[in-house]
Amino acid sequence: MKKFLFSVILCCSIQALFAHAIWIETDTNGKIGQAQTVKVFFGEFSENERDSTQHWFSNMSAFTLFLVTPDGQKTPLTCTPAGNHFAATFTPKVAGAHVLSIDHTVQAIYGDSKIHYYALGLVKVNGSLKGVDNVPAYTDFVLLANHQQRPKLHQPEKIQLSYKKAAPPGGDVTIQSAEGWSKKIKANQQGDITFSPAWVGRYMLEGTFTDTNSGEHEGQAFKKTWHCVTWCMEVAK
């Protein structure tokens, strides 16, 4: 009975971890010379659950937030604990797409799985998207969208999952709104999904897939890796 209860608790704990994600929130528009505030959260977006930084599991609080400028220069930003998130700032010096990126592998193995988190943010500085096409080169797992137009209410949005510049096998994208609504959509063979926003405001998109390559990580054996990438988009009327 004790072994059974332990197995149930372990299974529930692992499922809870896989329900969590790390994501970046920031103003999607910026200006040269004006400081830009960035917040990094860990929890469940659709349930408005943002974990205290003191309770982030394993080595999650040891993530690195990078800023990639339009010319491709990648610089780590200093992140400071601020209650239920980490905070950072940067001041754009040039016009163009400034990409925020997190690429973090969890130190501990859960069950037989390694967990690899990714998060993306995009700031359009002075109205320019120069450099946005280079996003797939900045990190392995990305959510690609048409950034030329701001997403609008009830208008179809095409999102593409890309892992190492190819569609990941068995990929899913979960659309989550701050109103508590979420929907998981299976990506096609090209890694594409389409959805129409039902509310104005911020959405978090969460792309996931599992690869079955086994190995050893931090001295622990694993049989598969669960990959999770997030990106927040702002929907207008």
Candidate CATH numbers 2.40.50.140, 1.10.150.120, 2.60.40.10, 3.40.50.300; the one for domain 2-235: 2.60.40.10
- Is pLDDT at 40 greater than 70 in this prediction? yes
Residue type at position 63: F
pLDDT of 18 reads: 57
Q: From CA 187, how far away is CA 207, in angstroms rounded?
A: 9
With beta carbons less than 8 A apart as the criterion, state whether 66 and 76 touch. Answer: yes
- Is pLDDT at 9 greater than 90 in this prediction? no
Q: Which two tokens stand for residue 91?
A: 């001041």
Residue type at position 77: L
- What average pLDDT score do residues 58-81 get? 96
Q: From CA 100, how far away is CA 97, in angstroms rounded?
A: 10
Average pLDDT, the chain: 91
Name the DSSP letter for residue 167: P
pTM for the model:
0.91
Q: From CA 100, how far away is CA 142, in angstroms rounded?
A: 12
With beta carbons less than 8 A apart as the criterion, state whether 96 and 131 touch. Answer: yes
pLDDT in tens, 156-196: 999 999 999 999 999 999 999 988 889 999 999 999 999 99
With beta carbons less than 8 A apart as the criterion, state whether 227 and 163 touch. Answer: yes
> b vs e for 40-49, b when ≥16 Cβ sit within 10 Å of the residue's Cβ?
bbbbbbbeee
- Is pLDDT at 55 greater than 90 in this prediction? yes
Q: Where are the domains of the chain?
A: 2-235
- What average pLDDT score do residues 131-148 get? 91
What values do phi and psi take at 60, rounded to 5? Answer: -60, -35
What residues have CB less than 8 Å from 73, skipping those under 6 apart? none
- Is pLDDT at 8 greater than 80 in this prediction? no
